Structure 1
Amino acid sequence: MAVAAALPLLLALLAPALAGAFPGCDYPPPLWCSSPEIAAACQAESHCANLSRPAAAPVELSLFYESLCPACRNFLVQELFTTWLLLPVGILNITLVPYGNAQERNDSGKWQFECQHGPEECLGNMIETCLMHEAKDFNSYFPVIFCLESGSSVTKNLEACLQVYAPQLDGSRIAACVQGDTGAALMHRNALLTEALDPPHQYVPWVVVNGKHTDELQEQAQAALLRLICRLYQGEKPEACGGSGRAPKEPRGCRR
């Protein structure tokens, strides 16, 4: 955007010197990129092509996980968060769905949940879900989730992680969400999203890339996520894409 904004000014400053070079151009420099015809008349196609080229779509990645699954925590901390830090904005969009292998039931109009790693995992899932709901902004809540998942306790470190990574967020509002109907409704939504997976998930972490899950994508994501995203991104490769990746490894997780 900065380059696009600066070019008309630069061309205006250079206009006297360029007038002789572009004798067929009767348009002021700020208009040279306003249409292909004007760009051709002013011999400015190369400049205008760089400005008008549409940005490539970001790679879309959805992570279906549960808060206490060791393989989930490893993938989120070692692969996903690191890749997110290294890539510029606009390369990778991430959706987090904490639910995993949990089960839900409707008990007298209230949703109840049972999790693979017990009640503490259900609480961790709920904390992270309510954190996302309250923060709204991915850049605000993802570092907090990284802090929770990389620390000693997913369920006991929320206030400490907020203080370090998102002091603007109100921990009491997150707690109210966890303890109230909002948290249960949000977790029910996560359950529906997880159960709607096609193919159905067999373990977690379960990675969906650009709307698809295959064994090959899963293996590549768990082995070397940065390398996978760099390969899939169709735009100009960022500097972080040089020489990324490690040797493939067999994906393992928390099976249902």
Structure 2
Amino acid sequence: MRAAALLITVYFAGAYSQQVCDHPPRAWCSSWEIAKACKVEQQCIEYFSHQNPKNSNEPAVQVELYYESLCGACRNFIVLQLFPTWLMLREIMNVTLVPYGNAQERNVSGKWEFTCQHGPSECYVNTIEACVIYHLKDLQNYFPIIFCIEQSYNLTNVLEPCLAAFEPDLSVKTVMDCVNGDLGNKIMHDNAIKTDSLNPPHEYVPWVVINGKHNDSLQDTAMGALFNLVCDMYTGMKPQACQKAVVTPLKKDSVCFH
């Protein structure tokens, strides 16, 4: 009943977008591009979250992403590959997000100072996303916010509308107190340790680790067809979504080098 009600919500939400949505209602949640065109992103997120309960009987595919917030390649991977794949396959995959990337840190009088590849704004957004992850803890709650930030035009000023859309119970003040305080500094230091401990060491971002492993083959496949990779690597009964191959190729050289 809950899923049916959500589909009805999707239908009526899309009905107001017919001038840009030329897809039939049954297809509105079939891909993230169509959901965006029909302006039913939030409704599709809710629909899939109820359609695809976690299957705890089989080990989920573990996908770790080490990234930096203003790297164009990282943003493309999150928006075009990782988030849509998780949206449709969340019952067979776990995602870990580590915002830090090619940053560097140094200890100055007992406090960590960070230098980021794309400047201070990137350090700022990295910390915003890290604090959102820390406070919400559950991927289902924070991933839509990370996606909302990463697909936005101005990442530094989009926290408030993204929280309002996806997690209104988390206040901007709570996040910003973390960003500007000792907690955010500690979280980013922890992310630095995680990133610097990668084996093999990361050479660029986005750096994708699948089931604890990174190699060129896994990286290239993840960048070009993550959905198919997760379906192929899952050892349990494949969900219905896996019956349809999904490929959103990204350029092999579209990375931000360390």
Pairwise TM-score range, normalised by the shorter structure: 0.7 to 0.9
CA contact (8 A) 2:145 2:166 kept: yes
Give secondary structure in 2 for the equivalent of 1:155: helix
Q: Which residue of 2 aligns with 1:141?
A: 142
2:100 and 2:191 in contact (8 A); partners too? yes
Aligned to 1:55: 57
Q: Does the 8 A contact of 1:104 with 1:113 survive in 2?
A: yes
RMSD of Structure 2 on Structure 1 (CA): 1.5
| Partner amino acid, structure 2, of 1:165 | F
1:1-256 to 2 correspondence within 5 Å?
55-89=57-91, 91-246=92-247, 250-256=252-258
Specify the structure having the higher radius of gyration (Cα). Answer: 1
Aligned length: 203
Q: 1:88 to 1:180 in 2, by over 3 A?
A: closer
For the residue of structure 1 that corresponds to 2:98, the secondary structure is: strand
Matched-pair identity in %: 52
Distance 1:252 1:218 in 2: 12
Q: Distance in 1 between matches of 2:253 and 2:246?
A: 15
Q: CA deviation at 1:252?
A: 2.5
* C-alpha deviation, 1:88, in angstroms: 4.3
Query: TM-score, normalised on structure 1?
Result: 0.77
Question: Structure 2: which 5+ runs fail to align?
Answer: 1-55
- In structure 1, the gaps of 5 or more residues are 1-53
Q: CA deviation at 1:247?
A: 7.5
Amino acid at match of 1:179: N
Cα displacement (A) at 1:169:
1.1
Shift of 1:251: 4.7
SS at match of 1:208: strand
Judge conservation of contact 1:88–1:238 (CA < 8 Å) in 2: no
Q: Which amino acid in the other structure matches residue 241 of structure 1? A: C
